[in-house]
Amino acid sequence: MANTLDPRFRAFEVKRKVRESATITSFYLTPVNPANWRPFEAGQFLTIQMPHPHGGAPLVRNYTVSSGPSEIGVYRITVKREAALIPDVADGLVSCWLHDMVEEGSIVRIDRPRGAFKLDKDSRRPVILLSGGVGLTPTVSMLKVLAKESDRPVWFVHACDGGSIHALRQEVQSLVEMRDNVHVHYCYRFPTEEDAKAALFHSTGFITRETLQSLLPLDDYEVYMCGPPPFMQAMFDLLLSLGLEKSKIAYEFFGPASLLSPSQPKTTSDVSLNIAQPPEVESAGIEIVLGRSNARFDWDPTSESILSFLENKGIEPAFSCRSGVCGSCVQGLVSGDVEYVEEPLDDVPAGRVLLCCSRPVNSVVLDL
């Protein structure tokens, strides 16, 4: 694991810390050395390194950039404070550190932008940006690009519990007002009387098939969505019921494939950057072999990684980030060769492989 002096993590200063809602705060990060800022695409994330509170290996987490790619020299991340239930283990440990300990002027260390969940700027199709809770961070970044740099029709649809935790509302509104064919719809699950008096939402409860039918004209859409797993499951089924093709639904989701029903789309690492999925092709004689059980599978070249391939076969290796950052999915490589589609954060020792960001060059045997 990287230490605090790992050169791949660069020093950034927190120039601004802005409370966006009761639970969500934005951090504006600028490089101490201006040369360390790197361009990014709407939808990508940063990896932040946090010193371990008890002197152990540093902790790393991924946070989507919510600012626009045209905002040179600064990254904004917008983070929900997740209460840490188990010290040193809970996913909320880093978010609580950011909210409670990191202030304007603090120095944090981050790695370059990463991730395959990116807006296809070459497409001319109408776009649905669909988000739940803090999942609006990539869709806001995408909205910035679409509103300012294209004439594509856009529907920004966001669901959250209520006005007190609704983040970035005014920013989205200013983007919506830039063009007549950019539309917004907010669904509050638990709206208050104050929310209703202020007309902060358009529907209540959950986003339904009827809601989208009333919003969307018949067209050939692309969908980008992000949110908690139950939201993603419900929205994907809903979109399919409206006749959208799986190949035109891209989403950000870090979780095991078993959380999604068999009819669900592929996980983040399986989303094609060009939206359309490649046709099925022969396996070219490449096998993935699980050494402990001698289970053998013909490799599917349309799979984006060994991890996603195994998940589609009902096998669930351990993993966390899906981006070669955390090291959770490292496994023994008994034989064979792999290539990395995403550069791992740390060097992978000989005889080991990161499943989440690798593909086989030839038949491989895993110590799994």
pLDDT tens-place string over residues 202-221: 999 999 999 999 999 888 89
Q: 323 pLDDT band (50/70/90 cuts)?
A: low
pLDDT digits (tens, 9 = 90+) for 326-340: 677 889 899 999 998
Look at residue 181 in the predicted model and tell me its pLDDT.
96
User: What pLDDT score was predicted for residue 137?
Assistant: 97
Amino acid symbol at 52 = H
| pLDDT at position 89 over 60 | no
Q: How do the domains of the chain map onto residue ranges?
A: 10-110, 127-270, 287-367
Residue 106: pLDDT above 50?
yes
- Among 151, 146, 124, which Cα is nearest to 219's? 124
Residue 33's H or E segment, with its range, is none
Q: Average pLDDT for residues 8-14, to the nearest whole number?
A: 94
Question: Could you tell me which residue, 320 or 98, shows the higher pLDDT?
Answer: 98
Distances (CA, A) of 242 to 178, 261, 367: 28, 18, 43
Q: Please, which pLDDT band fits residue 144 given cuts at 50, 70 and 90? A: very high
The answer to whether residue 112 scores a pLDDT higher than 60 is yes
The CA distance from 49 to 128, in Å, is 33
Q: Which CATH superfamily is domain 287-367 in?
A: Beta-grasp domain (3.10.20.30)
- Encoding tokens for residue 152? 């594509």
Top CATH class, 10-110: mainly beta
d(C-alpha 78, C-alpha 28), whole Å: 9
Taking the CA of residue 261 as centre, how many other CA atoms within 13 Å lie in the half-sphere pointing to its CB?
Answer: 10
> How many CB atoms sit inside 10 A of residue 257's CB?
21
Instruction: Tell me if 367 sits within 8 A of 331, measured CB to CB.
Output: yes
Question: Mean pLDDT score of the chain, rounded to an integer?
Answer: 85
pLDDT on residue 6 = 73
Half-sphere exposure of 332 (CA within 13 A, CB side): 6
The answer as to CATH 3.40.50.300 being correct for domain 127-270 is: no
103 exposed, middle or buried (CB, 10 Å; 0-12, 13-18, 19+)? Answer: exposed
Cβ count within 10 A of residue 229: 14
